[in-house]
Structure 1
Amino acid sequence: MSVASVASGPAAADARGAWVRRTALILAALALVAATALFSGVRFGLVLAIGLGFGIALEGLRFGFAGPWRAMILRREPGGVLAQLLSIALVSVVAFPLLAAHPGELVGAQAPVGWAMIGGAFVFGAAMQVVLGCGSGTLVNAGSGNPVGLLALPFFCIGSFAGAWHLIWWTSLGALPVLQLEGFGGLGITLAALALSALLFLALAKPGTRRVPARYLVAAAVLAALAIGNLLVAGQPWGVVYGLGLWVAKGVTALGGDLSGSPFWSAAGSAERVRQSVLADYTSLTDIGLVAGAFGVAAWRQGGLSQKLPRYPARAWAATVVAGFLLGYSSRLAFGCNVGAFFSGISTGSLHGWVWFVAAFAGAFLGVRIRPLVGLEARA
């Protein structure tokens, strides 16, 4: 037997194994979407497919929200933040006319600005830098097998449930009415504000770092297309936080718990969603899709799921638990995370999205300093 034939044997086996694995992943994704469409309806199947797209894009293109903010704060590299602003602008150009033309069918991510909202956004910005994952980022990290994401996610869910339970009390501390930018005038103001924000980040950038990487531009376009698809199919913007709290509410009910003591969870809309299948909730479906899509990309890559357990000290894992809970709790008070408040809020004209952005970015400065103090900068 020749050396070439011996060498080609293992290589050919690896290639066949990869082909089988990747084919199985594609078939599993198609089956999941088809089953959801069959049991819940075509629209729900499409929303799950969009969620898978979000997970595939974020993990596949190595794009997110927490990492680019960290890069801007620590290294003054604005590329990722600029791509986020670009993606929001692309969605805005389509979402504003759609919302104006279909006021009864499509809704934006409106929320009031208040003390709890501002404080929640600040805490969220800090907590997401501790675990290096926002709402979508924590789901993607967990789906790809990241140990910190896997630990933070269940506490994120619990925090979201608890934050919703206490939401009415927090909002009673004081809040403005919902302030909404609408129509072409509102679109013009939003695009101008996004452009000014981009210019500010460029002015603060370190010389030689102002170029946006090509994969970030691709990610911005893909996320914008998926977000527009989510708005059209689900009738609401892309969100994350509500679905995570809903899963815990369903679990509490299944264990015999009583949700009547919470004005939020006992409200007609939430109570109905708690009773319904999780596959009938749009936010839950996109959350499931985020996890599954990230898992698929990690499994597609050779050895993508074989992440070693980092050698963090005990205080780092404790901090992950606390930060995970705070991510869920604070994002509920802030009416969303980087996705539901920042991305979807601004792109559909809610002024709370801009306030959230400022407060959360301020919190991120604190978070990047807390992270090394709790031992999360160690490497495996």
Structure 2
Amino acid sequence: MPDRVTFAGSDSRALPVSPAVAVALSLVLGGAAWVGSAQGAQHGWLWLVGAGLGFVLHHAAFGFAGAFRRLFAEARTAGLRAQLVLLGLGAVLFLPVFAAAPGLGFEARGFVFPFGVATVLGAFVFGIGMQVAAGCVSGTCYAAGAGSPGAMLALPFAVVGATAAALTVDLWGGLPELPAVSLPGILGTAPALAVTLGALALAWVAAAALERRQHGAVQPIGGGGGLLRGPWPLLWGAVGLALLNLATLLIAGRPWAIVAALPLWGSLAVEALGWDDPAFWTWWQEPTRADWLFNPLLADRTTVMLLALMAGAMLAAALAGRFARRGGLTLGRAAGAVIGGLMIGWGGIVAGGCNVSAYVSGIASGSLHGWVWIAAALPGNWLVVAVAQRWSR
């Protein structure tokens, strides 16, 4: 995810009443009512949760790309430590739900997936792409909702990259991999939670020690903020995202996901333009995806939440008086949006997820693949930062 979209700063004046606020509020509330009436109450609630995610992401400027860039370029770790809070709180909320769900009679499954060469390759490319594009898929979407021209350019190219990955699944889908590993399945719920929290605590201590050694002090992630106008401290963002991810799990029966919507959008566009029939692609013949192409687009819960995320980010930006307050694209920024967008789309599909579905929701689900994903994505981020620093000398 990108850094906070840089607009004119907010102040303590009364909330602005503007066309952007009215439109965004209509999209959030009207969208929930429309989707709910067309696809059922579950989809309506998911629209509101998705809008909440966009609202939180924007106001807290909760980023992955920016956090990793500051980690490698400046040894600043506030963004990384906020991620660790999100992961830890997610595990605390998720793992007991998975254990209790069968006895309570409802479905709740985590993101526990196989991992292998494709995971490592895709995550590494994704890590490069998120720095080149200045954001991952969720960050690109929330920045696009807030009116960022670069993000609005990167998003369609992310769709292209994801669709290309789906089209070429025969080339990478057979790469060697290991079966899915669930820590709760192997260790039990309590030990798996203890192992996860212990690993996250070690990462926190290491990150804080690095920053303290380089700068003499550690930047806080807490503090106060304006609830409606923002900005929020990173801690608020971590807590808000964890709670909304839990709401997603309870409503949809699975955690927050994002990147899976992109090949669906692209494949429907390919079909509509008459370029090919994606129903015959190997990607869409997989049993869990077979019906997606034949259902209404808004029947896809990931699509619903992603569109709502953009509406929620627009509302947050409009309330703060920051909507679409950015200059035009430079040629370099435009090139980065195009190339980085292609890479995050392709890498997210090949890796089996992005920062949200693989890293955040995967680790919170107790899946080993989430740890493998971030271990492969971090070197990609580092590579771009290192090259950029060398060129700037």
TM-score normalized by the length of structure 2: 0.86
Could you tell me which residue of structure 2 aligns to residue 345 of structure 1?
A: 362
The letter of the residue matching 1:100 is: A
Distance 1:317 1:237 in 2: 33
Match of 2:316 among 294, 297, 305: 297
Q: Where does 1:26-37 land on structure 2 (aligned, <5 Å)?
A: 26-37=25-36
Q: Distance in 2 between matches of 1:224 and 1:147?
A: 28
* Structure 2: distance between partners of 1:77 and 1:373: 19
Identify the match of residue 156 of structure 1 among 155, 158, 168: 158
- Residue by residue, what CA displacement relative to the aligned partner does 1:96-116 show, whole Å, maximum 9, x if unpaired? 111122257111111212111
Q: Which amino acid in the other structure matches residue 196 of structure 2?
A: T
Q: Look up the equivalent residue of 1:221 and give its one-letter code.
A: V
- Can you list the C-alpha shifts for 1:132-190, whole angstroms capped at 9, x where unaligned? 10111011111111121111100101111221233353131200011111122211111
Alpha-carbon contact 1:130-1:370 (below 8 Å) kept: no
Q: Given the alignment, which residue of 199, 204, 218 partners 1:198?
A: 204
- Listed one character per residue, the Cα deviations across residues 238-259 of structure 1 (whole Å, up to 9, x for unaligned) are 1110011111112222233312
Displacement of 1:328: 0.5
> 1:299 Cα deviation (Å)?
2.5
CA distance in 2, matches of 1:21, 1:137: 20
Paired position in structure 2 for 1:228 = 246
Other-structure match for 1:251: 269
**2: distance between equivalents of 1:121 and 1:135?**
13
Q: Structure 1 residue 267: deviation in Å? A: 2.5
Q: Is the 8 A contact 1:126 1:368 kept in 2?
A: no
Structure 2: which amino acid aligns with 1:291?
M
2:218 aligned with 1:209: yes
Could you tell me which runs of 5 or more consecutive residues in structure 2 were left unpaired when the two chains were aligned: 1-12, 224-232
Distance 1:374 1:105, change over 3 A: farther
Q: Deviations over 1:189-226 (max 9, x none)?
A: 11111111111211221321342243111111100100
Cα offset, 1:30, TM superposition: 1.1
Computed over aligned residues only, the root mean square deviation of the Cα atoms, in angstroms, reads: 2.2
Deviates more, 1:281-290 or 1:207-216: 207-216
Kept in 2, the 8 Å contact 1:114–1:171? The answer is no
Q: Which whole-Å CA distance do the structure 2 matches of 1:143 and 1:374 have between them?
A: 32
Match of 1:365 in 2: 382
Match of 1:185 in 2: 191
Matched AA of 1:181: L
Taking structure 1 as reference, are residues 41 and 371 closer, same or farther at Cα in structure 2, changes over 3 Å only? farther
Contact 1:113 1:177 in 2 (8 A): yes
* Corresponding letter in the other structure for 1:141: A
Paired with 1:374 and 1:262, the residues of 2 have a C-alpha distance of 42
After TM superposition, the structure 1 stretch with the greater mean CA deviation from structure 2, 317-326 or 234-243, is: 317-326
Q: Which runs of 5+ in 1 are unaligned?
A: 1-13, 376-380
Q: Give percent identity, aligned residues only.
A: 36
What is the Cα deviation at residue 372 of structure 1? 7.2
Runs (4+) of structure 1 moved beyond 4 Å? 14-17, 370-375
Contact 1:118 1:334 in 2 (8 A): yes
Residue of structure 2 in register with 1:96 after alignment: 95
Aligned twin of 2:114: 112
- AA of the residue aligned to 1:187: L
Contact map agreement 2:160 2:342 (CA 8 A) in 1: yes
Q: Distance in 1 between matches of 2:388 and 2:299?
A: 37
> In structure 1, what residue type is equivalent to 2:359?
F
Shift of the 28–316 alpha-carbon distance from structure 1 to 2, 3 Å rule, reads closer
> For 1:269, which of 285, 288, 302 is the aligned residue?
288
- Alignment CA distance shift 1:370-1:303 (3 Å): same
Q: Secondary structure at the match of 2:177?
A: coil
Q: Is the 8 A contact 1:341 1:356 kept in 2?
A: yes
Per the alignment, do residues 248 and 185 of structure 1 end up closer, same or farther by CA in structure 2, a change over 3 Å counting?
Answer: same
After TM superposition, the structure 1 = structure 2 runs for residues 18-29 of structure 1, keeping only pairs within 5 Å, are 18=17, 22-23=21-22, 25-29=24-28
Inter-CA distance 16–362: structure 2 relative to 1 (3 Å threshold):
closer
Per the alignment, residue 372 of structure 2 pairs with: 355
Q: CA deviation at 1:303?
A: 4.9
1:16-165 mapped onto 2 (5 Å cutoff): 18=17, 22-23=21-22, 25-102=24-101, 105-165=107-167
Q: In structure 2, do the counterparts of structure 1 residues 26 and 335 end up closer, same or farther at CA, with 3 Å as the change threshold?
A: same
When Rg is computed on C-alpha atoms for both structures, the one with the higher figure is 1
Please point out which of 322, 328, 348 is paired with 1:331.
348
Return the offset for 1:304. Answer: 2.2
Cα deviation digits, residues 226-281 of structure 1 (max 9, x gap): 00000110111111100111111122222333124421112333231111112111
Is contact 1:65–1:338 with CA below 8 Å preserved after alignment?
A: yes
Q: Post-superposition shift, 1:131?
A: 1.6
